[in-house]
Structure 1
Amino acid sequence: MAKLNDILKSITQKNPNEAEYHQAVEEVFESVLPLLKANKTFVDEKLFERICEPERVISFRVCWTDDKGRVQVNRGFRVQMNSALGPFKGGLRFHPSVNQSILKFLAFEQVFKNALTGLPLGAGKGGADFDPKGKSDGEVMRFCQAWMMEAFRHIGHFTDVPAGDIGVGEREIGYLFGAYKKLQNEFQGVLTGKGLDWGGSYLRPEATGYGLIHFAHFMLTEIDDNLGGKTCLVSGAGNVSQFAMEKLLQEGAKVVAFSDSTGFVHDPEGMSEEKLNYLKTVKNEERKSISAFADKYPSASFKASGNKNIWSIPADCAFPCATQNELDEKDAKTLQKNGLLLLAEGANMPCTPEAIDYFQKSKVLYGPGKASNAGGVAVSGLEMSQNRIGRYWAKVDLEKELRAIMKNIHEKCLETISRHGLSEQDYLNASNIGAFEKVAKAMRAQGTV
């Protein structure tokens, strides 16, 4: 046992001052510890340590010129975590908070998420401490071109295929793709999330949000329930949140609250198609605070960020879709006290360890992000397939594929629960163990490399 405990200690010592990365590694370690105890080969061959160590971490300077002709300097990254199952695959994040710890945690989570999809995808993550907010299109374009001036050396169709994440939407993907095409003189599927007219895929914008709700549907089906009539909270107001709300409306659920970095909106009457379309205009085109939504609809009220947050609103289902560690133990207790039935993560690691532990011990159904928000990377993988064969698949076919993938992830969790004797509906440990087994098996087959 002492030897096993030394594994975690060694990893944290090797990676000082990386709190987010430590948190992600510790969660998975606790899940797979019984597996390591039972399988001496995994320990002797240091499979867990090898999965935790990125194959490559690239950090580089990004210099660009703003609209006033002033030189700006940012730091760019690409963490190529694991390629045992396929090319490195994972999003790019442009946000002032970006650092190596956050990207390593995201890349580590991506290893398990991508493995669960059943697609041939390795895992990576990248980005920069650049904030697109408040920047002109010209400034964003020049930054993206400068980022790609270095990154193009390290990515490629069969090497590493980045996608979008926070701060990186179709506009940024377009500028990045154009720069890559110019530098390499090749039109290839090196990035996903592209526009439909130039190599993109139907359903890619909707994929993470839709997949999240599909997974929640299967969780509820397992207990002979459904989303119809359920009161729901969705944190965030970006791409994932918008399409999670859209799918919830299609499922007959009632969305009564959503949020952004400025605060949250509570609308007891619930979201409607008209209201959701207006929210998309506010966030995607006007790029304003969601307070504008409350200004337009009398039934809605806006609360600025403070002691009270979105998780104080009573609801049956909660979908944290904003950012990491946005929901703590106090929030978890409030939600459970108010009658919460299900929580499924749309963001990466949005719940603190204490909140997760509380949900695991309560009767709340908890869907971890590795399983519940895998829809985005799943459709990214399908976009890669379309690029390789040079054709587009119909939207209705992709919707069927996405739903089937989310169903398969759910069934993989149930199979792992049964095979390892886990508690019923223990999706957290099931997703960690099932994905670890798959990646570890592939790494063993490929030798000590």
Structure 2
Amino acid sequence: MRTIDLRGQKLSPAGMLAAVPRATQARAEALEAAARIVEDVRARGVEALREQAAQFDRVEDHALRVPDEQIAEAAASVDPAVRAALEEAIVRVRQASTAQVPAAQTTQIGPGARIVQRWQPVNRAGVYIPGGKAVYPSSVVMNVVPAQVAGVQAIALASPPQAAFDGRVHPTILAAASLLGIDEVYAIGGAGAIGALAHGVDELGLDPVDVVSGPGNNYVASAKRAVAGVVGTDSEAGATEILIVADADADARLIAADLISQAEHDEQASAVLVTDSPALAERVTVAVTDLAARTHHRERVAAALDGPQSAIVLVDDADTAVAFSNAYAPEHLELHLADAAAVAERFTSAGAVFVGAHTPVSLGDYMAGSNHVLPTGGQARYASGLGAYTFLRPQQVIEYDRDALAQVRERVVTLANAEVLPAHGDAVEARFSEDTASSTGDRVR
């Protein structure tokens, strides 16, 4: 990993971002390609999906809609230890997601005038589960459970067909779907899957969904942008990111292990350490070199850590570290600080914040109860991670009686005339005519 020394510099947020650039060119190229793939699926349906499976997944003539017997077979054969871990994750994520569903609230504006604020679930959701360089049954849990907690009635799941399993969706993913009662599963991958969920595919009996969620590579993230406006989406969860803020007393080997844990996802993964301690930076460099050489995905890790998106950043002090983190807005933020719990509230822009040396990102990936589908690419400045709220629509229900309307009658007419929209005022006045009052049974005032 390279070291970038920002000490002694007064940098703006833009300057801080420029120090550790994200792979914007890769995202730009992915957006163009993903848009073409999505449009091809919209126009040609199954034919396009089969061509894409042959090109990207090296699979032909497989069942695009997964038969029930394949799901049942996967559920029966899953490793009992994996089943138990998934069941525990389901319980924890369901518990945390339940807290994300607001109760309906009634505001009494005045006598006979009220507004009910309620949150309505979408009717149908589509969840995407990646299946390229790793297997993600945990993502099944993270996507499906919040949708179920929100009250979504129909959930379709898409995941790439696997050449190693004769074109089937990975059996562990199917087992996780079965544990959650999901029986509408499609062996479709990448940007094409996002297009299929958004636009529907009649030949498969795949109806369009209302919201698409799920992590993926830059092409999946870009496909979400391509279907925005057709369906709702969660944040564009592209290549993973970890930013660690640490002080001089932090454990270098724990930091190195956590940087490597995210770098093993993808060559484009971002791993960044921000510290005001040159001594810690040196210890982490040594530890990363040692551990990365011995990890299972050492080549992938090396590519990610050596890329321009990864670095150890030296800053002057703790305040600058906070400013850097908030400007960068990482997907995952770890705080390896002596006073981590006390200062955590200062770190306002991150997909999820992991506080203290015993709260690694890996915990959030599987068993913390929090959701691991999080915004990348700086979107944490304005977007949240996946939750039950992703599948909810806030909706206001307004109810006024005749007396309550009479209280604001003149003011409505005044504002309508000020905006040169007199028919708006006329619509109110019509409710106070003799004929209207008699027909509604209201007494004329």
TM-score normalized by structure 1?
Answer: 0.29
The alignment's TM-score, normalised by the length of structure 2, stands at 0.29
Which structure has the greater CA radius of gyration? 2
